[in-house]
Amino acid sequence: MNSEFLILMKQEMGVTLILFILLFLKIWDGIKENGILLHLINVLLLLNFLLGFVLNQNGELFNGMFATNSLRVMEKSVLNLGTLIISLQAYDYLKSHKHLLEFFMLLLSTLLGMFFMISSNNLLMFYLGIELSSIPLAAMANFDMDKIKSSEAAVKMILSSAFASALMLFGISFLYGTSGTLNFQELVSLITGSPLQVFALLLVFSGFAFKLSAVPFHLWTADVYEGAPVAVTSYLSVISKAAIVFVTLSSLAPLFSHLNEMWYHLLFVTIILTITLGNIFAIRQDNIKRFLAFSSISQVGFILLGISSGTATGATSAIYFLVVYIFSNLGAFGVIALLSSQTGKENISDLKGFYQTNPLMGWVLAISLFSLGGIPPTAGFFGKMFLVTAGAAKGNYVLITIAALNMVISLYYYLRVVKAIFMDKNETPVEPLRGSLSLRLALLICMIGVVGTGFAGGFFEHIYQLAAK
Amino acid sequence: MNASTMVFYILSAVILGGALLSVTAKKIFRAAVFLLFSLIGIAGLYFYLNYEFIAAVQIVVYVGGIVVLIIFSIFLTHESGRDMKEPSMISNLFAVFACCFAAALTYLFIKEEHFNATPNPTLEPSARNIGTQMLDITRYGYILPFEAVSILLLAAMIGCIVIAIKLKPKE
Amino acid sequence: MNEIGLTHILFVSTMLFFIGVYGFLTRKNMITMLMAVELILNSVNINFIAFNKYLYGDKLDGLFFTIFIITIAAAEAAVAIAIIINLYRNLKSIDVDDADIMKF
């Protein structure tokens, strides 16, 4: 046990340690300056991210309640990096916030929940992880205390996530009842496909769909994204989504391994609904946060398309796409965060003529949107291409045709925003924005990611080797 | 029908009746009180199954904690005598129909299922066994979920304090 | 007490589950929606205890799951109520229909 335990759980330990450092800082109340605290937190998060590159080891602890391997360590590092970027971006928003330390305490506890979720080989730990990553997040959505929208977002989020996890639990209870075990590996071999088990698996799947905001369980997404503070929205749409996808790959998909046919049909319907409805709603939005919410719903559909192939290539392309998605979405959200914190504007029509006054930010936003839309030189193109090729391996051309059609539709609405930035005339464009050094650093990381991941050819193979093991 | 089965049927009636009234009551305070009855009935069911520890936890946490919390929040946010809005006829009918159908289907699945009981000897759910396993780090130990849930409670506490605390407005 | 089989208890929990779902779908008031969720969680608890009692008595898995569900339900209810009270302060109403600044 002893030292092995520390090494296997290093990332969880790191997050918990930072959580407690912040708790003591809060109690001590010695540093009054929010700016200094933020820099300190960013350094800690950076150290935690670097922790993912040393002392990697595979193993199991607590009788399979916690299991780790290189792939899971990599996934956690991705989440760590995303959290660091969000924290850098939130500098302007949090600098004047009264509850800065509490914000990060809640943020880190949700991150810890996601780590437990990714590492769980056990239904109980999985459930605890999913709750740990959603309850504090609802509290964070309420961090603009005196805005009605923000509390409303929080209420909608906690009620819908409580309902979703209750549905999932009912399913889990029947899985336990029919198999007598909570361990994922043992469970996989005990799934026989009796009607009750199929029903239970469907309930578990719908819980997942809720958290992924896949159609028809997407109704909470747009309201929550719009109402919550930008930092929380970006965290919700990127980090928590990525975590759920990782778990879907590592835990949910194997549960269906004896019910291949059903799993594929289930995904088939979900993918078509998710991609199409997400796109149709995204076209109509003017608020840019809602717009990104609906477009992210349709992105989830593409990720599920990769997963539906059921091969290591599919899993790899899903993970690869998520990394790209994190960079591109956070790039877009960074500019929105700056816009919203300095002018309070959040509408696409406000972006008209954005390029005239903010050429650099205009380019950042445009490149991020190109990547989200999947336009060639950016990494988003490779990501989508891998997903679609993986999905095509099954030879289901209906699915691929619908996906391709939707890619065109999504290009239309992403380019509409880009057109507003570059071409539309506006008498009163947004005044020049001055981003903090942190924010610009974060955007730089995102841009390097968006361009670099596409050209770093070894990256895909690296993930593939980890995933194929 | 002997005394034991009678007890079970009475308990079930309390649980389901309380629950049904709780989701249909017009006044919110009444709904909370019916919820209380239902939860006490469930605690009774745990006693009936000889799971005394869980029954005690159920009474302490649910009946003594959550329902009291709910009742307090009702007092803070409502005139509790006011009637609540009723759902529209169509959505109500639709929900009733869907739930009845799904419940019947689920019960059918349960009837069809062949449950296999384990042949191994029974471990008594006494407080001693529960306590030992809860803090055990070896096989079947539950120390990791215990720690995880403690972080969750810490986070929930921080979240509640931040949200519900009323700071004095700045002059 | 052998007359009461597993299916009897599962019947009660299934009914309780769908009563909760019905409540969640039809109620417009946030606190009553929370109450419906509590009912669903309780039906899950009954399931776990019943399975643990009748089928898998050699381990205490179901019982522990129940303990953790109860703990989490408490935390969830506390956070939800804190948020609802905060919303009430801003809005002076807690009906979902009144909170419709944002539209789908």
Residues B68, B11: one domain? yes
Chain A residues with beta carbon closer than 8 angstroms to that of B153: none
Chain B residues with beta carbon closer than 8 angstroms to that of A15: none
Q: Which helix (H) or strand (E) holds A59?
A: strand A59-61
Residues B8, B71: one domain? yes
Give the mean pLDDT of A136-144.
90
| C-beta atoms surrounding A388 within 10 Å | 19
Alpha carbon distance A300, A245 (integer Å): 9
Total count of domains within chain B: 2
Assess B165–A contact: CB distance below 8 Å, yes or no: no
pLDDT value, residue B15? 94
Chain C residues with beta carbon closer than 8 angstroms to that of A204: none
- Chain B residue nearest residue A109, CA to CA: B155
Q: Which helix (H) or strand (E) holds B109?
A: helix B89-112
Whole-number CA gyration radius for chain C: 17
Alpha carbon distance C90, C86 (integer Å): 7
Total count of domains within chain C: 1
Residue B27 DSSP SS3: strand
In chain C, % of residues over pLDDT 70: 85
In a domain, C22, yes or no: yes
Q: What are the angstrom distances between the C-alpha of A55 and each of A39, A44, A51, A81, A204?
A: 26, 18, 8, 18, 35
Q: What are phi and psi of C56, to 5 degrees?
A: -120, 55
CB within 8 Å: C79 and B156? yes
b/e per residue A280-294 (b: at least 16 CB within 10 A):
ebbeebebbbbbbbb
Out of B64, B83, B102, pick the residue that ends a domain: B83
**Structure tokens, B61:** 């946490």
Out of B55, B83, B111, pick the residue that ends a domain: B83
Assess A155–C contact: CB distance below 8 Å, yes or no: yes
Span of A82-86, A202-206, A221-225 with lowest mean pLDDT:
A221-225
In a domain, C42, yes or no: yes
Please, which chains are in contact with A (at least 3 CB pairs closer than 8 A)? B, C
In a domain, C100, yes or no: no
CB within 8 Å: A155 and C83? yes
Please, which chains are in contact with B (at least 3 CB pairs closer than 8 A)? A, C
**Structure tokens, C93:** 């109403």
Spatial CB neighbours of A93, under 8 Å, sequence gap ≥ 6: A229, A230, A231, A337, A341
Tokens 């880009």 appear where? A418
CB within 8 Å: A177 and C43? no
CB within 8 Å: B5 and C25? no
Alpha carbon distance A42, A84 (integer Å): 7
Residues B64, B140: one domain? no
Report the phi/psi class of residue B50: left, alpha or beta, with left for phi > 0 and alpha for psi in -120 to 50: left
pLDDT value, residue B26? 86
In a domain, C96, yes or no: no
In a domain, C1, yes or no: no
Report the phi/psi class of residue A310: left, alpha or beta, with left for phi > 0 and alpha for psi in -120 to 50: left
Residue B77 or residue A367, greater confidence: A367
Residue C47 or residue B114, greater confidence: C47
Chain A residues with beta carbon closer than 8 angstroms to that of C104: 219, 222-223
| C-beta atoms surrounding A365 within 10 Å | 27
| Domain of residue C70, residue span | 6-91
In a domain, B97, yes or no: no
**Residue pairs between chains A and B whose CB atoms are closer than 8 Å:** 94
In a domain, B98, yes or no: no
Residues B77, B5: one domain? yes
In chain A, % of residues over pLDDT 70: 99
The complex's ipTM works out to 0.91
Query: Please, which residues bridge with residue A66 across strands?
Result: A61
Domain ranges of chain A: 259-469
**Structure tokens, C99:** 């909170």
CB within 8 Å: A61 and B112? no
> Which of C48, C72, C84, C88 best probes binding to A when mutated, by most A CB atoms within 10 angstroms?
C72
**Structure tokens, A230:** 């930008």
Alpha carbon distance B21, C92 (integer Å): 27
In a domain, C103, yes or no: no
pLDDT digit string, tens, across residues A177-188: 998 888 888 888
Chain B residues with beta carbon closer than 8 angstroms to that of C15: 16, 103
pTM: 0.92
Alpha carbon distance B28, A308 (integer Å): 45
Give how far C3 is from chain A: nearest CA, Å.
Answer: 20
Residue A113 or residue A339, greater confidence: A113
Give how far A407 is from chain C: nearest CA, Å.
Answer: 23
**Structure tokens, A444:** 């730089």
In a domain, B57, yes or no: yes
Q: What are phi and psi of A3, to 5 degrees?
A: -75, -30
Out of B50, B83, B116, pick the residue that ends a domain: B83
Residue A108 DSSP SS3: helix
CB within 8 Å: A125 and B139? no
Residue A145 DSSP SS3: coil
Please give the mean pLDDT across all residues of chain A: 87
pLDDT value, residue A385? 86
CB within 8 Å: C57 and B118? yes
Q: Which of C72, C78, C83 sits opposite B69 (nearest CB)?
A: C78
A111 pLDDT band (50/70/90 cuts)?
Answer: very high
- The yes-or-no verdict on residue A272 having pLDDT over 80 is yes
* Crossing angle of the two packed helices A148-179 and C61-91, in degrees rounded to 10: 170
A287 pLDDT band (50/70/90 cuts)?
Answer: confident
Alpha carbon distance C35, A162 (integer Å): 11
Assess B102–A contact: CB distance below 8 Å, yes or no: no
| Domain of residue B155, residue span | 126-171
Angle (CA) C97-C101-C104 rounded to 5° is 80
Q: Could you say which residues from 41 to 70 on chain C have a Cβ atom under 8 Å away from some Cβ of chain B?
A: 42, 45-46, 49-50, 52-60, 63-64, 66-68, 70
CB within 8 Å: B106 and A199? yes
Q: Residue C50: give its domain's CATH number.
A: 1.10.287.3510
Q: Which of A128, A152, A177 sits opposite C99 (nearest CB)?
A: A152
Tokens 């799947």 appear where? A205
Give Cα B94 distance to the centre of its chain. 25
**Structure tokens, A329:** 């979405």
pLDDT tens digit at each of 171 positions of chain B: 688 889 999 999 999 999 999 999 888 889 999 999 999 999 999 999 989 999 999 999 998 899 999 998 888 876 656 677 777 888 889 999 999 999 999 999 988 888 888 888 888 888 888 888 888 877 778 888 999 999 999 999 999 998 887 765 554
**Residue pairs between chains B and C whose CB atoms are closer than 8 Å:** 218
Tokens 């150290």 appear where? A47
Q: What are the angstrom distances between the C-alpha of B157 and each of A54, C42, C73?
A: 34, 23, 13
Whole-number CA gyration radius for chain A: 21
Q: Are B106 and C14 in contact (CB under 8 A)?
A: yes
